[in-house]
Amino acid sequence: MPPTRLPADREQTRAAVAARYAGLARAAQEGEQIIDCDPGAFTEGGFGPAGYQDAGGLPDGAVRASLGCGNPVAVADLHPGETVLDLARAHARQAGAGNVEFLRGQIEAIPLPDRSVDVIISNCVINLSTDRPAVFAEAFRVLRSGGRLGISDILAEDHLTPAQQIERGREVGCIAGAPSFTEYHDGLVRAGFAGITITPTRQVADGLHAAIIRAARP
């Protein structure tokens, strides 16, 4: 079956996300230090290279291009031989990563077979999706039994209205609006995940927090 067409506003948001990050990727390739939100959040460690304690030895281009809000690898408990899926924007090729396969696709429709990966990581990307329930469902589908998630993302406090989630989210690069803690948790539950923990790590704006999310497929 062909994919269901998104409503016009979702199509516009997806197009805006694609255009924004394509532009930022080109800027990074040209040697610019890129930012995706309030510059203070980068210098204070909320986003980008300043948020990492272990960036030494990484290629300059990879560090310069970083727009993440945490380090999911540090909490994913990776083991040799595991198949790891990184739901990411770009830059892995340019960063010189090895032992990897690159797949072009959308995180709402992951181009992998069922039960084909052991671990999914993602760094401040799922908040950009216009259909997060689909992302969670796809993540569950491609994980093997016992597989797990290790995600960094931006979440909104539950008292914020949908309009505030969008307004404040866009201040920190969450073009589709920052999801709430409850929305994220309940979305993972509905997808079938268990063992869910959501741990705020720092406040990045009024009512918004960087957080580490862990979950597993039973």
Residue 37 covered by a domain: no
CATH of the domain at 165: 3.40.50.150
The pLDDT value recorded for residue 42 is: 46
Q: How many structural domains are present in the chain?
A: 1
4 vs 73, more confident: 73
The pLDDT value recorded for residue 167 is: 86
**Mean pLDDT along residues 174-180:** 78
Q: What's the per-residue H, E or C state across 112-135?
A: CCCCCEEEEEEECCHHHCCCHHHH
174 vs 80, more confident: 80
Residue 61 covered by a domain: no
**What does the alpha-carbon distance between residue 166 and residue 199 come to, in Å, rounded to a whole number?**
22
* pLDDT tier at 4, thresholds 50, 70, 90: very low
Residue 1 covered by a domain: no
Structural domain range at position 161: 68-216
* pLDDT tier at 10, thresholds 50, 70, 90: low
Q: Residue 40: what residue type?
A: G
Residue 212 covered by a domain: yes
The pLDDT value recorded for residue 16 is: 63
Residues 6+ apart with CB under 8 A from 171: 37, 38, 205
Q: What pTM was computed for the model?
A: 0.76
Q: 14-65 pLDDT, tens per residue?
A: 666 555 655 555 555 555 655 555 545 444 545 555 555 554 444 454 454 4
The pLDDT value recorded for residue 60 is: 54
Q: 101-156 pLDDT, tens per residue?
A: 888 888 999 999 999 999 999 988 898 888 999 999 999 999 999 999 999 999 99
153 vs 90, more confident: 153
Residue 38 is encoded by which pair of tokens? 């309030």
